[in-house]
Amino acid sequence: MSVTMQETMEAIRKYAPNFYPKVGIILGSGLGSIAEQLTHPVTIPYQAIPGLITGGVAGHASLLIMGYLNDVPVVCMKGRLHLYEGTSVEAVKTFVRIIKSLGAGMLVTTAAAGSLREEVGPGEMMLLSDHINFQPIHALVGANDESIGPRFVSMENAYDEELRGIMLRVAGGMGFTLPEGVYISVMGPAFETPAEIRAFRTLGADAVGMSVVQEVVLARHCGLRVLGVCAITNFAAGMRHEKLTHEGTLHFGEIAARKLTKLIPEFIKEYNRVTV
């Protein structure tokens, strides 16, 4: 039997009836340490939330955490749902729409990604400016609920230009290099072939991963502004001789996470200051 959004939110509100986040954050592989900075946290396992499921990928804890980051109320999704695990699109819809339904107006989505640019290596960060959907699916296929968003949603400013400007200002002030780039999303779970990477570079992609795009489409559909930032964990297939592994993804994700752990709280602080 399908679960309604009302049932989902009623379950969450039992834990935090009067909590209304300003920002939602999706934490990708190896990036869960950002949630550890939250003060007054309220933690809910995904399996306790109707309509969600628990992911099975290492580095994803499957916890919804509500709390304060630099005194700004936020909700963190510590661990995402991946379509390559057999997750239904309906569960991904619920995953994103929880953030909107709680009251947030903006989503920060983070992810581990492979670099397609020689000058941006493992352990660095990349600010997303656009995306290419190379997954054989689109989250908005099927009947549309006009109470959530329009049938045809514009993706021209999917990665909000104003939010990117704030992030670049904050990063520059902290001495971080933060190149911008286009993210291409593939289905996974196999890593890409060298031939695919050559094709993706021709298409104009700068980073490759197995997530982000469906979340961003759903976020824009329900009216959330979006900022996307990647932890670069490896050079994509064929660009170097090293073997690609998930363990390596987590290792270099942790290096990049040390930077993101400092950068994202400062971004949220500045975002809150300029949007009050």
Is-catalytic flag, 251? no
Is-catalytic flag, 211? yes
Active-site annotation holder among 5, 106, 111, 112: 112
Active-site annotation holder among 85, 196, 266, 270: 85
Q: At what angle do helices 246-275 and 161-173 cross, to 10 degrees?
A: 100
Tell me, what DSSP letter sits at residue 73? E
Is-catalytic flag, 210? yes
Q: How many CA atoms lie within 13 A of 168 on its CB side?
A: 12
Is-catalytic flag, 241? no
Is-catalytic flag, 174? no
Per the CB < 8 A criterion, the answer to whether 105 and 59 are in contact is: no
Is-catalytic flag, 29? yes
Token pair recorded at residue 242: 């090293």
195: three-class secondary structure by DSSP: helix
Active-site annotation holder among 77, 111, 167, 210: 210
Is-catalytic flag, 124? no
- Closest CA relative to residue 211, chosen from 233, 194, 193, 178: 233
Active-site annotation holder among 60, 167, 205, 219: 60
Active-site annotation holder among 62, 115, 185, 234: 234
Residue with tokens 């073997």: 243
Is-catalytic flag, 62? no
276: three-class secondary structure by DSSP: coil
Is-catalytic flag, 239? no
Active-site annotation holder among 84, 157, 199, 251: 84
Active-site annotation holder among 115, 133, 185, 211: 211
Is-catalytic flag, 77? no
**Residue 252 and residue 77: Cα distance in Å, rounded?**
21
Active-site annotation holder among 5, 29, 113, 124: 29
Q: Report phi then psi at 259, rounded to 5.
A: -75, -45
Token pair recorded at residue 6: 């009302």
- Residues 6 or more apart whose Cβ sits within 8 Å of residue 84: 187, 188, 189, 210
First vs last C-alpha separation in the chain: 41
Mind telling me the catalytic residues? 29, 60, 82, 84-85, 112, 210-211, 234, 246
